[in-house]
Amino acid sequence: MLLIDRRFRLFFFADPRVATLVTLLGVVFFLLWDFAGIGLGIFLMGESRYLTGVVLGPEMPLEEPVFLAFLSLCTMIIYTGAAKFLSHRAQRRSSTPSAGVS
């Protein structure tokens, strides 16, 4: 994802400070969401041989904030990429003469 970001300057490579802030806000929001779900007994940590075994809190594996950071990164790269694509497409349409108009 970072290679795509670098190639097209979509998120971190467009504005690192804003991207860092947005990513941190996304992670904090979803961590609060997770802690609410854990507190209500909705979210439970399952057993897996792929988990590190490091637990940050009740039902909160180390992998969760890493996943949330990746989720935020992917979402913002897709969003900014789509916005850039649609903007470019709209510019191309507005700059080409309409067919049949003289």
Could you read off the pLDDT of 29-83 as tens digits, one per residue?
A: 999 999 999 999 999 998 888 899 999 999 999 999 999 999 999 999 999 999 9
- Domain assignment present for 80: no
* Alpha-carbon separation of residue 102 from 44, 81, 93, 95 (angstroms): 66, 36, 17, 16
- Domain assignment present for 97: no
- Domain assignment present for 8: yes
Q: What is the dihedral of CA 54, 58, 63, 65, to 10 degrees?
A: -130
Res. 99: pLDDT tops 60: no
Q: What is the pLDDT of residue 100?
A: 53
Domain count, the chain: 1
Q: What is the pLDDT of residue 86?
A: 96
Q: Please give the residue range of the domain that contains residue 36.
A: 1-44+54-74
- Domain assignment present for 102: no
